[in-house]
Structure 1
Amino acid sequence: MEESTLFYSSLALLFLFLPFYLLFQSKHRHENLPPSPLSLPIIGHLHLLINPPLHRPFIQLSKKLGPVFSLRLGSRLAVVVSSLSVIEECLTKNDIVLANRPNLLLSKHLGYNHTTVVSAPYGDYWRNLRRICTIEIFSPNRLNKFHGIRKDEVRRLLLKLSHNSREAFAKVELKSMFTDLILNNLMRMMAGKIYFGEDVSDDGEAKEFRELIAEVVENSGAGNPADYLPILNWAGNYEKKLLELFKRMDGFLQRLIDERRNANGGNMMIDHLLSLQESEPENYTDQTIKGLIVVSQVIFSLSKRHQGNIHDD
């Protein structure tokens, strides 16, 4: 009885929203779009992308529709390109036109309202963020100042490997060790903190940071249904979870910045950015610094997760 009631309720909602969807589509219809397969009301072509890996349905569609085709992913329009020459044209002649990223809920809340270097729209603000990354963070001169930190992290890794094989040959999982090595390098350069590794405490600040990064990575990417079907925000609590996660992450990063500010000088990356904040407060706000920390940690964590999820066709 309950199942039939739920079914008819869902069916009634579908017919209720269908006219609004068709009206929205007619008003926002794009001209001269690449060919597209038949779509379903409301969800568009999302049903074609349910089963990973995504490159397989894209290959099948490109064989039917050609190297360039369009998909309606709920309320969003996407164009898929599988031609090397067209990709080259997109990334050279039309790179500025295609420079912006979609405004997802994650970049809205955890990305400080689309103001990080990976989510900000192309323009003066984004160019200033790129300048900060290029000159003040990743320049050879700046990175050379942290040579001792990188050397010490490699030494700690070698000591751990030698300890594991002291008595006999031992099997070790290097991927996680290299991940901890790079994440610790980043955080030691940023704030002088070690948060990753088996020899790091499982309680307190380190544990809190690892849990926060894990939650951010779990919610990252382009697979959140509410980004494509906004109606799901009414039925679920995805956006509410993002807001709560943002408050916790922002509070943690603010404590890091305040700690370095109260240290009255130092050689960490946050110290350098805070010193620049005194002369250019509009370019080096606390929000900008927090965004740079989030991006440096999450981007690498995401790349390692996706490398582990690659499947051969």
Structure 2
Amino acid sequence: MRKPNLTDVSIFAAVVEAGGFRAAAQKRGLSASSLSDCIRRLESDLGLRLLNRTTRSVTPTAAGERLLERLRPALLEIDAAFNDLDDEAQRPVGTLKLNVPVPVARFMLPDLLARFLRLYPGVNVEVVMENTFIDVTAGGYDAGVRYEESLAKDMIAVPIGPRRQRFVAAAAPRYLAERGTPNEPAELLGHELLGHRFESGKVGVFEFEKDGRVVRVPPQGQMLTSSHDLKIRSAINGLGIVYTFEDFVREPLSDGRLVPILEDWWQAFDGPYLYYHGRRHMPSPLRAFIDFLKAETDMSPGIQ
């Protein structure tokens, strides 16, 4: 096996990420044929076929998948080293890739990123929504956002968004008029509870807390879904009681389409964190975003 050319290795990763030679060539400003030549040379040097090529798609072979999994951290380090040169000029450039849960993408990031991107016009942001915890480096991301209970011990975490959040229980006025308003969590056993199934397959329970006492009520009723929008819309339509992030129901609560219930029992929890692996060369867009978040926190010490 001959020692492979680093450029060929980088092009292999770019072709897989782009899903084909043509898309990768457009990003690189090269011809598709020149990229194909690089891949053939790399496969020849390694003595392995790395890509499955058809007229419709280009996908990595099993060997290519294993190689790419090992290469990603090294390639990210190389990109980060070059991005550090931009740090010296105080002009971060490049793409910040984030993996975040749905509530964060919908309710926290829009305003944060609007302010951040106005400050750093040389930075692009790519956001993928995913609720399960992932290894951000192995997934090709610069950082992720998760809640504290999901963070691995070896991660560096920086607060992002509100430091306290709540789950709230609510139902439509007509539902409560027909079925009555529960005053204690135990009374929910006689009600329609709109359940949520997570990506892991687990069904969430309604968990309430008051004066150190915790009450868990499993959802029961006609509706079980992984869609927050469907669950909340079903509550508005009078199908049952919903228990979810306060941000999801803030608007229907304010306009009266939903009515809060069991307010003394709503459970509060710590807000989310931006998490990332500590590494010697941090990409300049990530460094700029972390500094931005810290400045936001300093300016808002009493975040809701």
Give the alignment's TM-score, normalised by structure 1: 0.26
Structure with higher RCO (Cα < 8 A, 6+ apart):
2
Greater share of residues in strand: 2
Greater share of residues in helix: 1
Give the alignment's TM-score, normalised by structure 2: 0.26
